[in-house]
Structure 1
Amino acid sequence: MTAQISETLIYEDQKLSMCSQPLDYWLCTAGKDIDFQSTSTACWRGYTGTWKVINDRLYLASLSGTGRNGSKLRMKDLFPDHSKGVFAHWFSGEVRCPFGKMLDYVHMGYGSTFEKDLYLTFKKGMLVAKRVITNGVGKEGDPEGYGVAAFTTFPVDKSGSQ
């Protein structure tokens, strides 16, 4: 598996990379026929979202993805009554947001290690805990911030070939 493009989290006026997928549980349990299609090896889930923490509540603010027939899917397609954002009441779990210099690149999922990880714990969409883990100190010249590095992706055309 290729290193994956992160989702975005706006938290305390900072734009962070999210190495978690809070929408997954909703997609599995919503009872809707929504099937995202991957158009890149760097995004197997087939969508990217922007999330915000507002007053200790997690919101999905925007979403962009590709449907099984190649159609573009947006927030209004999943949440017709909440096209400008939806409270993530379905999500209980931990969100990992790495930051600082990259210490170790792993060409798989969200496996790379950075100087620090911010962990935000949510229960039914409400922020209940946060912690920062220090993983080490990067060297001069190490890349800063989360980014998918050292690989090439090829979009998949409608016939399924690359």
Structure 2
Amino acid sequence: MHKVFLFFLIMMSASCSLNHGKPVATLEYSSVAELRSTGLYQVYFTSDVDVLQLFKSKIGEGLVCALEDDLDFAESHHIKRSGFGLVESVPGELSLRYRANVIFSESANGKGGENYLEGETLAPLLRKRDFISCVFRVHTTTYKTYFSKVMRIPTKELLKAVVKQ
């Protein structure tokens, strides 16, 4: 009987992650600039939560952006046209100011690869929209994936950085 109970307990705990109980961050867009014609776009934003200190143990974290209407930011879901960037704290007057170095890409149809989007390949996608949506996402080994609230980046601002030569 003890073996059955132990087996049941292990099965129950192995199939679920714990709720992290962390506050959901509200991100506010500040500015964007291209990093020295590299195709890397530095997105600056502030947060009402210290997003880099939420978890001690992390598998991955970063800013994830959707270039189209697919707003499923789960790690298991692949967004066809998206951006991803590692986030770092920006020293200065604002204590919760961050920068994400974002690279935009598009899945190659049926080939399993990706094409990087910058300049004249990225601009037409941005011109179709008023904004793109981004979230800060953190994966851990123990807890459910953490997502901030959606932050909107005005495409007018991003286009200035993209077409700047």
Q: Do the structures match in fold with TM over 0.5?
A: no
TM-score (norm 2): 0.29
TM-score, reference length from structure 1: 0.29
**Which has more helix, going by share of residues?**
2
Give 1 or 2 for the bigger CA radius of gyration: 2
